[in-house]
Structure 1
Amino acid sequence: MCGIVGCILKEKKDAAPVLFECIQNLEYRGYDSIGLATYDNRINVKKGKGDIKKVNREQNFKNMSGSYGIAHTRWASTGKPTPENAHPHLDDTNTVAVVHNGTLENHSEIRDELIKEGHEFISTTDTEVIPHMIKKFMDEGLNLEDAVRKCGEKIEGSYAIVAMSKDEPGKLVATRKDSPLIVAFGKEGYFVASDTPAVLDYARDVIRPKEGEIAILTKEGIEIHDENGKEIKKVPQHIDWSPEMAKKEGFDHFMIKEITEQSAAVKNTLGQRANIEKIIKSIGDVKRICFVACGTSYHASITGKYLIESLAGIACDVVIASEFKYTAKTWDEDTLVIFISQSGETFDSRMALKEARKTSKTLAIVNVAGSAMTEEAEYFIQTQAGPEIGVAATKTYLAQLTAIYLFAALMAKDEKLIRELYKVPKYIDEVVNERESIKEISKRYDFAKNAFYLGRGFSYPIALEGALKLKEITYIHAEGYAAGELKHGPLALIDEKVPVIVVIPPGDDYSKTMVNLEEVKARGAIILSVCAKGDKKTAENSKEVIEINAEVGDIIAPLVYAVPLQLISYYVTCDKGYNPDKPRNLAKVITV
């Protein structure tokens, strides 16, 4: 969940400005502290607590000499956000510097052993044991590469590590286990990072080392070594995302930019039809499907369950990735386990994937080419959303849904639904073009301390996703409910101070949802409904409405009705003075 970058420039010029620009592009992975280390006859380190702009004003990162170095932006997992816990970390002789993404499970035991041997620590973070161990192994006669390799054998948990040592100048050594890492080839030099947006301005040809492999960067190039130190030849993958795709392009925030890009994300993902058809043919018959996911991807999975069961008649479960162990023993050779992850690096999902591979067919739906889950799953579908920087998922959610819809429709041979899917980008653009009116509506709801979202059938996961968006970026307590559950408890919480957002598209569940709408109206709730244009009955029973093209029926509603709910959350967040791209306590990729 932290961002790491390293670079070595071919020409002898300062790397700090390049490192700083790259690490800025990864701030979405963590923003409670930042630090840089460069080498110029000695290791120079500057770091501090706070976001990048704040710490840079204090430290002036660009004014650091040295043609290579490492950088880090942190999302705290072990040790509070403090200047001492900020990366890079050094050993107590300032010989080795390290940046790290992940969580070390046995760091306390290692720290105790090192303290007994005379090592002195200044932080409370798990990462600090790494440079101490590397220095210890180098003192015992190992070179930097072998010391990093031996360190990887000793530590337990997840990690992506980049290390440098003044005893081996001109070299960066990197390795990984259960955390993402890429190396990249550019015109000006060579790069290592935890995610591709970091380096898109400088390098587009990327290799993703496998677990346990060692990447060695010098100004002559990049080498990948196996566990025995033998060089492995790998062909770089060209990333066709432009640098501009990862920048704001004049929008106030990444989130609103990414909301406006959703029609393109859906259209581009629909282009995966041929690939999905091949996957379905190769998978063959299955008796059961199980979705495994977290957060927003979990909500996409619920929609997938409804689609597959209602269209294809195949029994389908949805499991939260962190709870997979309670279901894993029911997976067998007739089960297809589908993993949904934007990054393809989500830790809990990857642990479940490793278990599923032992017994079942596996399919990953991810947004990042070459990510860990694309290599670990038997089959994978890459959604075509491009890089998503905002922490709150928007375009990647709709791209995931699009892939799921295509999969379900092709599995069920439902050509009518497929034709409907190709109309979805137009419907999304119609909603986005009304964002100024939605902005005005949103201003009337920033007072709320609690909110409820209601939906039935395919609209139920829309309600869940709408509530998640509201609470994760506005910090308003919000809950999504299946509308039929109102009388089983939630109705007790409804009063005249509670906004209720009702998702009520035309379709089989419309009449029953209207009954639930009238129930909350009778309790004095402030009702905002998202409904079809021309729906007079809903308008009469709501304080106000957001209208969607009446051609959007209940089955494809999740692909369209989610958009105004995203916009409501975005504008309420802005009204409250918060940054929607950087919600507190959250990070984009959960790799621990």
Structure 2
Amino acid sequence: MNATERGIREQFPLWNRVDMNHVRPRAGQVHVVVGCGTSVHIADSIAATLNAQGVMSRAVPGNEWTRRRNDYVPATVAPHVVALSRSGASTETVAAARASRDAGLEVTAFSCAPGSALCKNADEVVVAQTHPEEGIVMTASASLMLLMGLRYAGIAVGPEATRAAEELLDAADPHLRAIIEGRSHFVFLGGGALYGVAREGALKLQEMSLSQTEAHHPLEYRHGPISLIDERSCVIMLYHPDTAAEEAQVAREVMEKGARVLGLGGPGDVTLPISSPAFVRPLLCLPVLQLLGEYVARMRELDTLAPRHLTKVVTIA
């Protein structure tokens, strides 16, 4: 077991240590959740959850928010900004926080680096300790920032959710090697708050294994992208309980076309039931997607501790 896998398997106790310091959205505030890379995909899931909880929100990449703020939120609106960065040093995210405060906007930071540049450019801060062996690829830290966002939105994420996530990972583990065998095209499908996690699953597998990946809303996949499905494809369906029947139909269609399907919360070649509520499913599924990336990388004889062209902190001089 390498350090990447240890970080994935040993992340669950870290979830139970997260302290939100009573940080919560104020009534009536519009929110913008910013981040880069993994963090902006996590931001997408957080924004969807905030909206579902009655807090108007959207996710925006860091540099887009700094340079084109009014393309995303009208100039007449003064949103509260939630900025995500594991290191607290990502150039675009720090710049977005700084520009937001310069414009008179309040900023909340979610990070794994106390005292970082991001934290110093925020009005309130939530910090979590990530796994000590986490390398370039974000695993535990991504889960921790998603957990912060769900709690920020008012979702109860406690020890029961932690246990459910660990049990789902244990249930998935014996099936992952078989379902990826001979597959080189990976599709992640999820709706609502699961869409951001689907995007993160696609990114994780891409950077860990240099594989062809894509992410879509489940029914949107039939509108063109399904043309790529064949016997080299593996589809990871993140089932939402509200639309599970429709998503199962998509799963059947891609299976008929040669794909293997990993069903998280619904039917597939491998079916892994999830009984937890919809709001916590993005967090529960994320470790499974992380471990899937590690296993595909091993299948391709790649080292996830040294992913090609990547650095732990992306900075711009």
Relative to the length of structure 1, the TM-score reads 0.50
Q: Which whole-Å CA distance do the structure 2 matches of 1:314 and 1:436 have between them?
A: 36
Q: Which whole-Å CA distance do the structure 2 matches of 1:361 and 1:328 have between them?
A: 17
* Cα distance change of structure 1 residues 504 and 435 upon mapping to structure 2, 3 Å threshold: closer
Match of 1:347 among 83, 91, 104: 91
Q: Which whole-Å CA distance do the structure 2 matches of 1:397 and 1:375 have between them?
A: 21
Retained in 2: the 8 A contact 1:292–1:319?
yes
Which structure has the greater CA radius of gyration?
1
| 1:550-565 correspondence to structure 2 within 5 Å | 550-565=274-289
| 1:156-305 correspondence to structure 2 within 5 Å | 252-269=1-18, 272-273=19-20, 275=21, 277=22, 279-280=23-24, 284-305=26-47
Give the aligned partner of residue 220 of structure 1. Answer: none
Retained in 2: the 8 A contact 1:322–1:348?
yes
Q: Secondary structure at the match of 2:109?
A: strand
Q: Secondary structure at the match of 2:34?
A: strand
2:54 equivalent to 1:320 = no
| 1:502-541 correspondence to structure 2 within 5 Å | 502-505=237-240, 507-531=241-265, 538=267
Higher relative contact order (CA 8 A, sep 6+): 2
Match of 2:228 among 493, 496, 499: 493
Deviation (angstroms), 1:433:
3.6
Compare the two structures and name the one with the higher strand fraction: 1
Deviation (angstroms), 1:518:
2.2
Q: Which whole-Å CA distance do the structure 1 matches of 2:303 and 2:34 have between them?
A: 30
| 1:330-479 correspondence to structure 2 within 5 Å | 330=74, 334-359=78-103, 360-387=105-132, 389-409=134-154, 417-418=155-156, 420-434=157-171, 436-438=173-175, 441-479=176-214
Q: Which whole-Å CA distance do the structure 2 matches of 1:588 and 1:299 have between them?
A: 17
* Cα distance change of structure 1 residues 387 and 375 upon mapping to structure 2, 3 Å threshold: farther
Q: Which whole-Å CA distance do the structure 1 matches of 2:313 and 2:261 have between them?
A: 34
User: Per-residue CA shift, 1:52-107, capped at 9, x if unaligned?
Assistant: xxxxxxxxxxxxxxxxxxxxxxxxxxxxxxxxxxxxxxxxxxxxxxxxxxxxxxxx
Deviation (angstroms), 1:260:
1.5
Q: Which whole-Å CA distance do the structure 2 matches of 1:502 and 1:435 have between them?
A: 13
Structure 1 letter corresponding to 2:119: T
Q: Which whole-Å CA distance do the structure 2 matches of 1:567 and 1:444 have between them?
A: 13
Q: Which whole-Å CA distance do the structure 1 matches of 2:215 and 2:208 have between them?
A: 16
Structure 1 residue runs of 5 or longer lacking an equivalent are: 1-251, 410-416
Deviation (angstroms), 1:553:
2.8
Q: Which whole-Å CA distance do the structure 2 matches of 1:403 and 1:436 have between them?
A: 26
* Cα distance change of structure 1 residues 362 and 517 upon mapping to structure 2, 3 Å threshold: same
Q: Which whole-Å CA distance do the structure 2 matches of 1:482 and 1:303 have between them?
A: 13
Deviation (angstroms), 1:350:
1.0
What RMSD over aligned residues (CA atoms) do the two structures have, in Å?
Answer: 2.1
Q: Which whole-Å CA distance do the structure 1 matches of 2:225 and 2:5 have between them?
A: 32
Give the aligned partner of residue 588 of structure 1. Answer: 312
Structure 2 letter corresponding to 1:584: R
Q: Which whole-Å CA distance do the structure 1 matches of 2:55 and 2:310 have between them?
A: 36
Q: Which whole-Å CA distance do the structure 2 matches of 1:511 and 1:464 have between them?
A: 22
Q: Which whole-Å CA distance do the structure 2 matches of 1:425 and 1:578 have between them?
A: 30
* Cα distance change of structure 1 residues 431 and 284 upon mapping to structure 2, 3 Å threshold: closer
Compare the two structures and name the one with the higher helix fraction: 2
Q: Which whole-Å CA distance do the structure 2 matches of 1:348 and 1:472 have between them?
A: 20
Q: Which whole-Å CA distance do the structure 2 matches of 1:519 and 1:435 have between them?
A: 23
Count residues with an aligned counterpart: 312
Deviation (angstroms), 1:459:
2.1
Structure 1 letter corresponding to 2:230: D
Match of 1:484 among 209, 216, 219: 219
* Cα distance change of structure 1 residues 350 and 489 upon mapping to structure 2, 3 Å threshold: same
Structure 1 letter corresponding to 2:160: K
Retained in 2: the 8 A contact 1:266–1:424?
no
Q: Secondary structure at the match of 1:560?
A: helix
Identity, % of aligned positions:
24
